[in-house]
Amino acid sequence: MNYPNLERLIEILEILRGENGCAWDKEQTHYSLKKNMIEEAYEAVDAIEDGDCEHLKEELGDVLLQVVLHSQIAKEEKEFTIEDVAKGISDKLVHRHPHVFGDTKVTSTQDILDNWEKLKKEEKKHRKSVMDGVSRSQAALMSAQKISKKAVSVGFEWPSEQSLWECFDSEVQEFKDAIKKGDKQNAEEELGDMLFATVNLARWNKIDAEQALLKANRKFMARFRKMEELAQKPLGDYSFEEYDELWKKAKSELKNEKI
């Protein structure tokens, strides 16, 4: 196989980071670029959500740029190269797919996932806690889901959904109590507990909490934009009752639209 454009991208980054390259590119470090990595990944996900393949192609290019740029920086520091990155992920994929590249027999997708976790544990023998490996930089909601799943994987699970609801109700009450006492620090802590309990409820019902909230965000924004379209005066001049009626009307008009 021949990938001239991939090789061209690597060469372009070498030039941009070189002696006669771009001042901005030469100033970048792993640390300065960390925000860009997250933003580009999210924009690619947006393109997937929109079902826009042309936009996805562009955004994947931006994600690839981040990978090649970080690899170029590492090469200059004599840490690793883009070839090392490709070898590492290739070796990992072959090792974690013994049912394809080896003699392991599987009968279901669950068998594949179980094998994946088993092999992953073998690779990460240095990890002492089941919580090791949870990213400190990912969105809090995504992190909470991963933490919850890891705890359950070693048997730390609620006995029933009802017990989970009781925990959730208890956290809500504790949050209310903290607010009533004017204890902002404790209120923040109790709100966090309430959100974590919500994530557990989502997991119990096989709902991705991150995706659920993203959908709620999109729904709210669509309805708010519709309210702005329907408004007969500046929204700031509306009373609560008028706002409520406008919201209901916007909700009704968007009822059959895909958001």
Q: Which two tokens stand for residue 72?
A: 């170029």
* Count of positions (residues) in the chain: 259
* Count of CB atoms situated within 10 Å of the CB of 40: 20
Better pLDDT: 86 or 126: 86
Q: Which of 91, 94, 99 is nearest to 115 (CA)?
A: 99
- pLDDT confidence bin for 230, thresholds 50/70/90: very high
Q: Which of 245, 249, 258, 259 is nearest to 226 (CA)?
A: 249
DSSP state of 218: H
- Is the distance from CB of 127 to CB of 196 less than 8 angstroms? no
What pLDDT sits at residue 136? 75
- pLDDT confidence bin for 133, thresholds 50/70/90: confident
Residue-wise pLDDT tens digits, 69-115 = 999 999 999 999 999 999 999 999 999 999 999 999 989 999 898 88
- pLDDT confidence bin for 241, thresholds 50/70/90: very high
What pLDDT sits at residue 259? 67
Residue-wise pLDDT tens digits, 155-203 = 889 999 999 999 999 999 999 999 999 999 999 999 999 999 999 999 9
Q: Is 4-80's fold the same as 140-207's?
A: yes
- Surface-to-core class of residue 41, CB atoms within 10 Å of its CB (0-12 exposed, 13-18 middle, 19+ buried): middle
Residue-wise pLDDT tens digits, 20-49 = 999 999 999 999 999 999 899 989 998 998
- Per-domain residue ranges for the chain? 4-80, 140-207, 211-253
What amino acid occupies position 61? G
- Rounded distance, CA 212 to CA 204, Å? 14
- pLDDT confidence bin for 249, thresholds 50/70/90: very high
Write the class of the CATH domain 140-207: mainly alpha
What pLDDT sits at residue 251? 92
DSSP state of 118: H
For the structural domain made of 4-80, what CATH number should be given?
1.10.287.1080
Is the predicted pLDDT of residue 130 greater than 70, yes or no? no
Question: pTM here?
Answer: 0.65
Determine the average pLDDT of the residues in 3-8. Answer: 95
Q: Which two tokens stand for residue 17?
A: 């980071």
